[in-house]
Amino acid sequence: MRTINKHLMSETQTKQAETQEEQFNPIFDEIKGITPEGALNVLIQAAGQAQAAGALTVRDSVMVAKAIHVLRPGSI
C-alpha cells in the first residue's frame, strides 16, 4: 500500500510541476515590452509596498508621495 501511495503522490507532484511549468513566465519576458506608463506603475507599486512594510522613513514617504503626485496628480 505504501508503494501505491508513493506512486500516486509522485504522479500528483509531477502533474503539479507540469502545471506550474506551464504557468511560469520568466520575468524578463513579462517586462520585455514595458511602456513608460507601465514602468511608472511598477515604481508606484514598489513605493507603496515599501511604505506598507515600514521600510521608508516619514521623510522618505513624504518625498515619494510628492514625486508620485507630480508624475500622476490625483492618484494618491
pLDDT digits (tens, 9 = 90+) for 37-75: 999 999 999 998 998 999 999 999 999 999 999 999 988
Q: How does pLDDT run across 8-45, given as a tens digit for each residue? A: 657 777 677 666 666 677 888 888 999 999 999 999 99
Is the CB of residue 64 less than 8 Å from the CB of residue 47? yes
pTM of the model: 0.59
Angle at alpha carbon of residue 39, lines to 38 and 43, rounded to 5°: 115
Give the residue, 43 or 2, on which the prediction is more confident.
43
